[in-house]
Copies of this chain bind each other. A is one copy, B any other.
Amino acid sequence: MIVILKKNAEQQQVELFDNWLHSMGLETHKSIGENHTIVGLVGDTSRVDIESIMALDIVETVKRIQEPYKNANRKFHEQDTVITLSNGAKIGGGHFLVMAGPCSVETEEQIISVAQAVKAAGAEVLRGGAFKPRTSPYAFQGLHEEGIRLLLKAREATGLPIVTEIMDAKHLPLFEDIDIIQVGARNMQNFELLKDLGKLRKPVLIKRGMANTLQELLMSAEYVMAGGNDQVILCERGIRTFETATRNTMDLSVIPVLHQFTHLPVVVDPSHATGRWELVAPMALAGAACGADGLMIEVHNDPEHALCDGPQSLRPEKFASMMEKVRAIRPYADRSFTTGEGALG
């Protein structure tokens, strides 16, 4: 951490500041210039509150050098995290994982038939929503408990592990048998929920919020990991920009950047990022090419009658043809920042 002191900072206050930093176990190095004094803080600054320092009268500005996350930081954990699921599927360290299924669970027949279809095409995890965050209180909100029950039925029928979204910590008991718990974009900074998920010992998939920086995404992972749960998967699903031709702007450059910053696996969700099924395959291929560790894809056997997000769902046959191309591209993907070898499935 670097602190720039004001030109006219009082000597006495500077000494008090020095003493305070030393009391936290930090060393200080000063460079005194004509217009500014630069103080370099040496030691573990990850727990120093940058705002407290910025509030001091003698301080002009503060810049953090060391990242404020530790558990999620590749600097302190060089090897890629690899997560293994009940069916033996793996993600991270060169293992590529595809999660697919409908936006919402609707009926037993629907979820089982989609599960079979995506499994046949190569998906290794079934996705499906039981609790749906909807902008409107008047829109379909999901089947809730019944939806979870149907997902578990589909697991029974196909062997596919389940990923599904939680919207409130009070529903945690319902998620006991779920394989991967998803935190949606709107809850990425629901810190109370993240703390509760940190107490579990099962994979948590965190979607990046629509206005959240990569550092904030990593800090949300850090909330879960600080609780002792180190099975975290990150997911890019588009950010809010001025462009309206797509629902969100899919920020694919986060894939290599996240691989540089963290050892956690990173997947992309082109269905939510673009909001239009025609764009799902091109963006899934692009995600694979730049080194994503997996995909999350909406597939529906009858998108025209889906109870939500129909326009962004692929039919099973389109999904299957996309999967073939993904497999072809994966061996050539750029994974310069990861430590794992490339591998599909």
Contacts and interface: CB of A to CB of B under 8 A. Distances in A.
Given A209-B211, A290-B286, A310-B52, A254 B244 contact: no
Interface in A211-257: 211, 213-216, 219, 222-223, 226, 239-246, 249-257
Interface string A274-317: 10001101110111111100000000000111111111010000
Given A226-B138, A240-B242, A286-B290, A192 B211 contact: no
Given A2-B63, A169-B168, A249-B241, A219 B278 contact: no
Interface in A54-92: 54-57, 61, 63, 65-66, 68-69
Contact of A137 (B2, B222, B305): B222
A337 B278 contact: yes
Interface stretch (A110-118, A122-130, A148-156, A327-335): A327-335
A204 interface: no
21 contacts: A4-B65, A29-B30, A49-B140, A51-B309, A55-B304, A133-B191, A137-B194, A137-B226, A141-B191, A168-B168, A168-B192, A186-B191, A190-B190, A211-B240, A213-B244, A241-B242, A243-B254, A285-B332, A322-B334, A325-B332, A329-B332
